[in-house]
Amino acid sequence: MEIRRYIKDVSKYLKCSKASRRKCLRSLSKAINALQDKGAVTYELCVKEYGPPEKVAEEYLSQLTKKELQRFKKKHAVLIAVVVCILIAFLIAIYMDMSSERPGVIKDTGQFEETSELI
């Protein structure tokens, strides 16, 4: 259970593609399982043996190519842009709906002229 937590913590710091993340976590899991054959493995032992999760992730990311990291950052930026566009479209739709005419609401259209004459 503590091994899963350590691996999950490492995963949080891996800002790369899913394939690269899986490859790193698989490798780390195999190394921890080899350590487990020697006895019980705790979170603290993993930190002592491999380092804090953020350092493990940082070390792995430093081994990736610049091209792969740039590709991940570009995809991430595109995803954020799409979400922002959808949010803006949603807000515009709400604004348009709120500003449109509604049944039962009298709106001054200026079609009638005021006169001082009584009929």
Overall domain count for the chain:
2
Tell me: do 43 and 80 sit in the same domain: no
Question: Residues 82, 58: one domain?
Answer: no
The verdict on 26 and 77 lying in the same domain is no
> Which candidate, 113, 45, 16, 84, places its Cα nearest to that of 25?
16
DSSP 108: -
Give the DSSP letter of residue 80: H
109 to each of 62, 90, 101, how far by Cα in Å? 66, 29, 12
Looking at the structure, tell me whether residues 71 and 19 fall in a common domain.
no
pLDDT tens for the 119 residues of the chain, in order: 688 999 999 999 998 888 889 999 999 999 998 888 778 888 999 999 999 999 999 999 888 877 777 777 888 888 899 999 999 999 998 888 877 666 655 555 666 666 666 65
pLDDT at 111: 64
Closest CA to 7 of 21, 17, 20, 15: 21
Domain assignment present for 24:
yes
Q: Are residues 53 and 89 in the same domain?
A: no
Which amino acid is located at 72 in the chain? F
C-alpha to C-alpha distance for 101 and 63, rounded to whole angstroms? 60
Domain of residue 87 covers 66-100
